[in-house]
Chains A and B, each alone.
Chain A
């Protein structure tokens, strides 16, 4: 099978959509589960900040001389697609589990993208790693919410 080869533009668009979707998802969670409203709204805000960071870093880094069209060799974006809509009547516990899975997938996307482009795209992989680190903190908080339920 041919190895995928995503362009920088496609990867950044994917990250933008990912953060948009997650931001909306957290806003929905905040409305549904009042007990953790503040946490979810903070996550939604952070997703918007992540998006701004990634787009800004890309636009300020990209030049005609960088290997932008060839930097993400082996990165298959479809591997990181995830459903960000809540099923009708889903329990709070299941919603939290789903959220942790979403965050894990998103973290993997950012880390994989950073690893592939680290020698080619200067500050872009650094921004990806920073977003992945933010996600680790989120996951800890989500796991704590889940633990407190049990």
Chain B
């Protein structure tokens, strides 16, 4: 099968989009490399503090005017943005594959998820409404209004370069705020493309800004008194120890969605064929670089005797291994490919480090992804095949820490209680799924498990745009979450008015 046409034809240096203008950065320039062919596809600046300050000034200046713009008029900008995204759907998707490495199906899925956020935010005229009550005392009425706050910073991760900043941006601007997006410096092209479309959609200059860069830009956002809140998606150490802490110190609102170690429980009554299909996407989709990826596959022997349990465990692990070993790995623009490369070489090396730790820790390596087998003649630099460890325990490094790659750890639990204990012994609380035909077991998990997103016969528990993207424990820091109504609350201040007329 051939390679789909690449939309990026020449290497360009990306600019910053500040105050409605494309501005060349004075910062250092680094390469953006397509991880499959290992070719440079763009160059991105590491912007300076003065550039982030310039963006804050532009956003702050337009805020009063944008705030006064009727919500329906703000929604119309989003309607136009959505139409432009639909028009450019294929190019936007292929760009994600080129800059990140994911398969074209995954990229199109990401594009769709991003567009859905814009679609939901167009409902701002209903979403932003307050509420009221007459006669809270004789002749006195009370009502609540939602008001925008000012300028927000959005710090995007590398794993979903298109979608994740859109968990926040459409809601922020729909509610009358202004935004500055700092895309991941590893794959910033998608956000630059979105800014081009936002410009075309007619957002007033300064409402939607993009400043490329790294730590300097992040620090600039965190320290700036005119940035009222930060939305961050990334690792737990940065989210907790830098973003959440600094936002607390500076009095900013914060959403910090962080790392994960997600458990998938397979019960004896699960539909195995469908469970395995769901597990392939869960463990190996996006090459495991997803905070909702399955990482620990727990085979639960509730109600089985020892012999039955061992037979069941072998059956599940065999089916899982068999399916994983057939995954076609290669360049994501090849439509036959089911898993792309890792984002870069250093990520591959980090994951190989985990595989080595797994072996040293005593886990059995059932499928070794270090034996690279790919479709097409691409350098092996960033590729790793699916890997499976067997008989992993929750205290092993690979069973405990976030690997963020295509490595599955299979575990044994004799009962559902034991499986839930395993989950709770882990510091993360992003997603847990149970595969079962039993409503009782499913409800037990839904009711008892301390984690933000629960899947029942679902491999990737990705909330739709009109629900919050939840998270608990070390997977989330903040109060309100991104997406839907919670995002509306995050981006607005609730003002109470009590009125009496003499």
Interface residues of chain A, those whose CB is within 8 Å of chain B, are 2-3, 5-10, 13, 58-71, 73, 119-120
Is B474 part of the binding interface, using a Cβ–Cβ cutoff of 8 Å?
no
Residues of chain B contacted by A5 (CB below 8 angstroms): 326, 328, 338
Give Cα A63–Cα B335 distance, bound, in whole angstroms. 16
Question: What's the least CB distance linking B283 to chain A, in Å?
Answer: 11
Please encode chain B, from 102 to 126, with 1 for each CB lying within 8 Å of some chain A CB and 0 for all others. 0111101110110000000000000
Q: Give, as a whole number of angstroms, the nearest-CB distance from B406 to chain A.
A: 13
A69 lies within 8 A of B105 (CB): yes
Partner of A65, one of B104, B109, B338: B109
What are 20 A-to-B residue pairs whose CB atoms are below 8 Å? Answer: A3-B326, A5-B328, A5-B338, A10-B336, A13-B335, A59-B112, A62-B105, A63-B109, A63-B113, A64-B110, A64-B113, A64-B290, A65-B109, A65-B461, A68-B105, A68-B106, A69-B103, A69-B338, A70-B323, A120-B277
Residue pair B280, A60 in contact (C-beta under 8 Å) = no
Chain B residues lying within 8 Å of A71, measured Cβ to Cβ, are: 277
Q: Nearest Cβ distance between residue B390 and chain A, in whole angstroms?
A: 22
Residues of chain B touching chain A, judged by Cβ–Cβ distance below 8 Å, are 1, 89, 103-106, 108-110, 112-113, 160, 163, 274, 277-278, 280-281, 285-286, 290, 292, 323, 326, 328, 335-339, 458-462
Q: Which residue of B lies closest to A66 (CB)?
A: B109
Closest to A14 in B: B335
Within 8 Å CB of A63, what residues of B? 109, 112-113, 462
Whether B336 lies near A66 (C-beta < 8 A) is no
Given A7-B336, A13-B335, A63-B109, does the pair A69, B1 have CB atoms closer than 8 Å? no
Q: Check B280 against A64 for contact (C-beta < 8 Å).
A: no
Could you say which of A2, A61, A69 contacts B281, with CB atoms under 8 Å apart? A69
- A65 and B462 within 8 A (CB): yes
B112 and A67 form a contact (CB under 8 A): no
Please, which residues of chain A bring their CB within 8 A of the CB of B109?
62-66, 68
Given contacts A7-B335, A59-B89, A62-B108, contact A67 B113 (CB under 8 A): no
Contact partners of B89 in chain A: CB under 8 A: 59
Q: How far is A84 from B323 in the complex, measured between Cα atoms in Å?
A: 35
Besides A10-B336, A13-B335, A69-B337, 8 new A-B residue pairs in contact (Cβ under 8 A), listed by A number: A7-B103, A7-B338, A64-B110, A65-B458, A65-B459, A67-B281, A67-B459, A71-B277
User: A8 to chain B: which residues have CB within 8 Å?
Assistant: 105
- Count of chain A to chain B residue pairs whose CB atoms are closer than 8 Å in the complex: 86
> Assuming the A-B contacts A9-B335, A64-B163, are A69 and B112 also in contact, with contact meaning beta carbons closer than 8 angstroms in the complex?
no
Contacts of B459 in A (CB 8 A): 65, 67
Report the nearest B residue to A119, measured CB to CB. Answer: B274
A145 to B110, CA, bound (A): 47
Complex CA gap A9/B331 in Å reads 14
Contact B277 A70 (CB under 8 A): yes
Interface centre among A60, A65, A66 (most CB of B within 10 A): A65
Cα distance A73–B108 in the bound complex, in angstroms: 20
Smallest Cβ distance from A89 to chain B, in angstroms? 34
User: In the complex, what residue of chain B is closest to A68 when comparing beta carbons?
Assistant: B105
Contact A65 B460 (CB under 8 A): yes
Name the residue in A2, A59, A60, A71 with the highest tally of chain B Cβ atoms < 10 Å from its Cβ: A59
Most buried by A among B109, B337, B461: B109
- Across-interface contacts of A3 in B (CB, < 8 A): 326
Question: What are the 3 tightest A-B residue pairs by CB atom distance, in nearest-first order?
Answer: A64-B109, A68-B105, A65-B460
Q: How far is the CA of A3 from the CA of B108 in the complex (A)?
A: 26
CB pair A9–B326 under 8 Å, yes or no, is no
The docked-state distance in angstroms from the alpha carbon of A71 to that of B292 is: 19
Instruction: Tell whether, in the assembled complex, residue B338 and residue A70 are in contact, meaning their CB atoms are under 8 Å apart.
Output: yes
From A6, A60, A67, name the one whose CB has the most chain B CB atoms within 10 angstroms: A67
Q: Decide: B103 and A67 in contact? CB cutoff 8 A.
A: no
Residue of A nearest to B280 (CB): A70
Nearest CB of chain A from residue B87's CB, rounded to whole Å: 12
A2 to B328, CA, bound (A): 12
| Chain B contacts for A59, CB-based, 8 A | 89, 108, 112
Complexed CA–CA distance, A66 and B277 (Å): 10
- List chain A residues, Cβ under 8 A from B461: 65
- Given known contacts A59-B112, A120-B277, A64 and B335 CB-to-CB distance under 8 angstroms: no
Complex contacts, A60 vs chain B, CB 8 Å: 112
A10, B462: Cα distance in complex, Å: 24
Residue of B nearest to A70 (CB): B280
Query: With the chains together, A6 CA to B106 CA distance in Å?
Result: 14
Closest to B459 in A: A67
Contact call A7/B105, Cβ cutoff below 8 A: yes
Report the separation of the CA atoms of residues A119 and B326 in the bound assembly, to the nearest whole angstrom.
21
Chain B residues positioned under 8 Å from A58 (CB to CB): 108
Hey, which chain B residues are within 8 Å of A65, CB to CB? 109, 281, 292, 458-462
Bound Cα distance from A71 to B160, whole angstroms: 22
Q: Is the CB of A70 within 8 A of B112?
A: no
Q: Is the CB of A64 within 8 A of B106?
A: yes
CA distance A68 to B339 in the complex (A): 11
Inter-chain contact A64/B460, CB cutoff 8 Å = yes
A10 vs B1: C-alpha distance when bound (angstroms): 9
Question: Across the interface, do B277 and A10 meet the contact criterion of CB distance under 8 Å?
Answer: no
Cα A65 to Cα B163 with chains together (Å): 13
A69 partner residues in chain B, CB cutoff 8 A: 103, 105-106, 280-281, 285, 337-339
Q: List residues of chain A with CB within 8 A of the CB of B462.
A: 63-65
The chain B residue sitting closest to A67, CB to CB, is: B281
**B333 → chain A, closest Cβ, in Å?**
10
Residue from the list B277, B286, B328, B336 in contact with A64, Cβ < 8 A: B286
What chain B residues lie within 8 Å of A10 (beta carbons)? 1, 335-336
